[in-house]
Amino acid sequence: MPFIEVKDIVKMYHDPKRGKNLLALDHVDLTVEKNEFLCLLGPSGCGKSTLLNMIAGFEKQTSGTILMNDKEVTGPGADRGMVFQQPTLMPWLPVWENVSFHLKLKGVGKKERREKAQEFIDMVGLKGFENHYPYELSGGMNQRVGIARALLLNPSVILMDEPFAALDAQTKMDMQEELVRIWQFHKVTVIFVTHSVEEALILGTKVAVMTHRPGKIRELLSIHLPRPRDVTSHLFNEYKRDILGYIREESKLAKAT
Ligand SMILES: Nc1ncnc2c1ncn2[C@@H]1O[C@H](COP(=O)(O)OP(=O)(O)OP(=O)(O)O)[C@@H](O)[C@H]1O
Ligand SMILES: [Mg+2]
């Protein structure tokens, strides 16, 4: 039994303002095994965020089902930690309170929340910024607060929507390494949306390539590369060439429609 099953998902957005409907996802099927690191690649607007939001339970599909551990996903849950494309922090709370906000909701005391938050603040490289407010941080630092907040929940699935897109090259590399370490150590399952073929190949055990909108899964590849991934290796670049080929085809098809 797969850990997560996305079965025949269709998502139609209604646009009452323009009196039109928009088909975002068109019969998507996808299975994710436990401990898998699945990277989801696809052109802008193909429905990656929509799909991730549905697995998170924030968005409702028009038809189809999503199962996790054989139970239907009907709403958000602490078993799924989400890192959004845009960090969604509470501007009136300092970093450590943003990171440990879920614990506050559970009634955990301040001292314990502060300690727990520190562990994850250190993990994402924000030591020294515990008492800063979101407006005092850069975009990339805010994104790291969002990552720390998701990890603190100790979820069995981490859903990440282009979490490193706003980071500089060095921080991005550090965060990618850290995420692989967390994934290996905590045995979590990760679904990671990215635009970067290279990033997908640095991280993933599998890479799903989506079609242009309305999105479907076009290819699902198992990535058999040793870790740490060597971006200069022959095999890495063979995978890269194949995937870029699919993406180019999709972009041509998108322009033709
Ligand atoms: N809340 C919404 N209401 C109406 N249309 C929406 C909504 N959210 C997304 N869409 C539409 O659905 C399609 C898919 O959007 P989505 O954000 O899932 O794409 P994406 O693959 O994540 O793109 P990107 O790579 O640019 O983030 C787009 O055409 C978008 O305009
Ligand atoms: Mg998106």
The per-residue pLDDT string of the chain (257 residues; one tens digit each, 9 = 90 and over) reads 899 999 999 999 998 888 899 999 999 999 999 999 999 999 889 999 999 999 999 999 999 999 999 999 999 998 999 998 887 899 999 999 999 999 999 999 999 999 999 999 998 889 999 999 999 998 888 988 998 999 898 899 999 999 998 888 988 898 899 899 889 988 899 999 999 999 999 999 999 999 999 999 999 999 999 999 999 999 999 999 999 999 999 888 888 87
The atom of ligand 1 lying closest to the CA of 162 is: 27
How far apart, in whole angstroms, are the C-alpha atoms of residue 55 and residue 72?
10
Nearest ligand 1 atom, CA 85 = 27
Predicted pLDDT of residue 17? 85
Taking the centre of ligand 1 as the mean of its atom positions, its distance from the CA of residue 43, in whole angstroms, is 11
Mutate to test the pocket of ligand 1, among 46, 82, 160 (most ligand atoms within 8 A of CB): 46
The predicted structure's pLDDT at residue 178:
86
Q: Is 24 in the pocket of ligand 1 (CB under 6 A)?
A: yes
Backbone angles phi, psi at 76, to 5 degrees: -65, 160
The residue type found at 154 is: N
Give the β-pairing of 80-83 and 217-222: unpaired
Ligand 1 centroid distance, CA of 162 (Å):
14
Phi, psi of 93, deg, nearest 5: -115, 140
Q: What is the pLDDT of residue 219?
A: 97
The residue whose C-alpha atom lies closest to atom 26 belonging to ligand 1 is 44
Position 240 scores a pLDDT of 98
Give the pairing of strands 206-210 and 80-83.
unpaired
Q: Is the CB of 50 under 6 A from ligand 1?
A: yes
Give the CATH H-level superfamily of domain 4-79+157-256. Answer: P-loop containing nucleotide triphosphate hydrolases (3.40.50.300)
Q: CB of 11 closer than 6 A to ligand 1?
A: no
**Nearest ligand, measured from the Cα of 21:** 1
Return the ligand 1 atom nearest residue 47 CA.
Answer: 18
Distances from the Cα of 4 to the Cα of 39, 66, 174, 189, 192, angstroms: 14, 7, 28, 10, 14
Lookup: tokens for 40: 């989801």
Nearest protein Cα to ligand 1, atom 18: 47
Instruction: Write down the pLDDT at residue 124.
Output: 87
Residue 46 near ligand 1, beta carbon < 6 Å: yes
Kindly state the tokens that stand for 48: 């990656």
Q: Please give the angle made by the CA atoms of 21, 42 and 75, to the nearest 5 degrees.
A: 60
pTM above 0.85, yes or no: yes
200-228 residue pLDDT tens:
999 999 999 999 999 999 999 999 999 99
Length of the chain: 257
Q: Where are the domains of the chain?
A: 4-79+157-256, 90-154
Q: Which helix (H) or strand (E) holds 116?
A: helix 110-123
Per-residue tokens: 257: 């429609």
| Ligand 1 atom 14 nearest Cα | 47
Atom of ligand 1 nearest to the CA of 46: 21
